Amino acid sequence: MVSNLDAVQDELAASGFPPLANKLAGRGFRARIATRDLGPLRLVSLATPESACVGRERDARDGENLAVKVMTRGRTRIGQGRGEAELGPADLVLLDPTRGVRFESTASAHVTILVPRRELRIRPAQVDRLIGVRIDGNNGPGALVSALARESARSVTGFRAGDALRSAAAVVELISVALEARLGDNRPGPDERLRDRITGYIEARLADPGLSPPGIAAAHHISVRRLHKLFEDQPLTVAALIRRRRLEHCRAELAGSGRTITAVAARWGFADPTHFSKLFKATYGYTARALVTSNSARTTKTLTAPPEQDGGRQQTR
């Protein structure tokens, strides 16, 4: 369907994209947009006229998904993090909806796959190296992802729930392979390798309430100052990374485990329930209790509603 700028921005925001200021959009702006769901994935097809857009950083609560953008027509220059990619037809790029982004494009069309972070088997430090980096969509694993994304945007309809989940898992697997292959093409330097090891160390010990920069530095035989230097050009400091990953684990578990808030907080290193509750609210904009209540209501509704097929849907205006 054809939409004006406000309608397109509303649809993108509803799908988890950051608000974009388009410097070239006027009253005559027209675009085509359609969304389809495949299990936990959302595919967004968008065709726009020539554009020059800037998007600001977003709150951490908007960081559930990563986005794989696949060009189908036209060219675009897109910058995010330390990467800047020149994309042509079939090329793809990994984007983080919580980070600032800028891009300039000719009249173009693309398909974006929104993938829950937890579904990808790459570590946060690896994501940092991939954000905003061009992945060749004409050769190797990238070509498979590119072809699948373009075809899926047209044909994802009528899937039963189980089939949709298995198909989504296959898509995620291909994306993971393409990202890992790109990491191999862009081998990290000594500092990046050390930072990767430290990030993995942190991830494996998030449940330890004693996890802290001094202990992390000692375990890697470096000074605390050196540790902080390694992370000074990263989106998060060491302490903030620990806090963010713990909160993300807590939020995921509270949304589906049925355990109490106090138990989940303690499991992920938050010994003080009051401090955890304040930190959760400050980070996500809603309380942990509200998340548990909302999930309970959705679960009850699902149990009482008739089964539905998990297929595609196209928005119209």
CATH of residue 116's domain is: 2.60.120.10
CATH of the domain at 284: 1.10.10.60
220 in the same domain as 138: no
Per cent of the chain over pLDDT 90 is: 36
226 in the same domain as 168: no
- The token pair at 73 is 């027509």
b/e code 55-82 from CB counts within 10 Å (16+ = b): beebebebbbbbbbbbbbebebebbbbe
Mean pLDDT rounded to a whole number for the chain: 83
Spatial contact of 252 and 223, defined as CB atoms under 8 Å apart: no
Task: Find the domain containing 197 and state its range.
Answer: 190-301
Say how far apart CA 27 and CA 46 lie, in whole Å: 18
Residue at 315 is within a domain: no
Domain boundary among the residues 156, 185, 214 is at: 185
147 in the same domain as 269: no
Residue positions counted in the chain: 317
pLDDT band at 166 (very low <50, low <70, confident <90, very high): confident
293 in the same domain as 254: yes
pLDDT band at 291 (very low <50, low <70, confident <90, very high): confident
pLDDT at position 313 is 43
pLDDT at position 198 is 92
Spatial contact of 254 and 291, defined as CB atoms under 8 Å apart: yes
- The residue type of 109 is A
176 in the same domain as 209: no
113 in the same domain as 17: yes
Say how far apart CA 275 and CA 286 lie, in whole Å: 14
Average pLDDT over residues 220-237: 90
Residue at 38 is within a domain: yes
Residue at 206 is within a domain: yes
pTM: 0.59
The one-character DSSP state at 103 is E
